[in-house]
């Protein structure tokens, strides 16, 4: 089975930095993905980690520690348009169907 | 540049009716999945497929059937709709060379009355 936990809601101020944490327990781990989803829209891909460490993509960075079952998404220089739900998802190996399993999402509100 | 196409975008069904949600992708992806999204529940996996002719159950498969006769298409069938199946449904595809990102369709908002 698998268990993925992330905070339900977070609030941050425009221009600030926010860190969204994700912890997971799963077998056959093969990568961790972060998606952004605006209300009424489909999820869009942000970042992924396969190996331990930090991956940086512009204002967004994602970190993974496989031994701790822990990841975070870091958003810098927050903008109002960053208000959205952020979904953490764990990928499983092919012989377990290559499934992508999602956490419940973190609703981020960016205030002026 | 179609990507993943879902139809319909909106649907209202009466309890007990059946219907098929369509999903097609033009990226030659091996993996395809169906998710449902309810408020505060994130995306929950209904069924998935690793290739034509191969399907398996996800976390919440009851009340749904799937088939995968071609690489491109992965329809989701509701056999006898129930109000508990009111949800937003997303189809996704990804390449087998894992790990790769999943591409999502625009979603189908289904209401069962």
* CA–CA distances in Å: residue B41 to residues A16, A103, A104, B37: 28, 8, 5, 6
pLDDT at A1 exceeding the cut of 60: no
CB-based contact A98 B96, cutoff 8 Å: yes
Top pLDDT among A83 and A27 is at: A83
Out of B40, B43, B45, name the one closest to residue A87 (CB).
B43
Rounded distance between C-alpha atoms, residue A97 and residue A27, angstroms? 12
Highest mean pLDDT among A95-99, B20-24, B49-53, B100-104: B20-24
Token couple for B36? 């449902």
Please say if the pLDDT value at position B101 is more than 90: no
- Taking residue A87's Cβ as centre, other Cβ atoms within 10 Å add up to 26
Pick the range with the lowest mean pLDDT from A87-96, B6-15, B40-49.
Answer: A87-96
Q: Do A105 and B42 touch (CB under 8 A)?
A: yes
End-to-end CA distance of chain A: 41
**Between these two residues, B37 and B39, which has the higher pLDDT value?**
B37
pLDDT digits (tens, 9 = 90+) for B47-85: 999 999 999 999 999 999 999 999 999 999 999 999 999
Contact A92, A29 (CB under 8 A): yes
A25 CA to chain B: closest CA distance, Å? 16
């Amino acid at each position: 089975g698998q268990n993925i936990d992330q905070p339900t809601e977070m609030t941050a101020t425009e221009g600030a930095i926010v860190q969204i944490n994700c912890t997971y327990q799963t077998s056959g781990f093969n990568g961790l993905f972060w998606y952004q989803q605006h209300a009424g829209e489909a999820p869009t891909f942000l970042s992924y980690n396969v190996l331990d460490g930090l991956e940086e993509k512009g204002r967004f960075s994602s970190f993974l520690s496989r031994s701790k079952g822990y990841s975070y998404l870091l958003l810098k220089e927050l903008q109002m348009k960053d208000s959205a739900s952020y979904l953490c998802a764990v990928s499983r190996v092919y012989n377990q169907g290559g499934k992508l399993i999602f956490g419940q999402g973190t609703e981020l509100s960016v205030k002026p | 540049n179609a990507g993943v196409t879902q139809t319909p975008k909106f649907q209202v069904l009466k309890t007990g009716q059946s219907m098929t949600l369509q999903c097609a992708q033009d990226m030659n992806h091996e993996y395809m999945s169906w998710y449902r999204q309810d408020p505060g529940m994130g995306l929950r996996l209904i069924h998935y497929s690793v290739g034509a002719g191969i399907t398996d159950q996800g976390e919440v498969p009851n009340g749904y059937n799937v088939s995968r006769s071609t690489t491109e298409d992965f329809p989701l069938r509701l056999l006898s709709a129930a109000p508990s199946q009111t949800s937003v449904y997303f189809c996704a595809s990804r390449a087998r060379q894992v790990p790769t990102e999943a591409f999502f369709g625009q979603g189908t908002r289904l209401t069962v009355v």
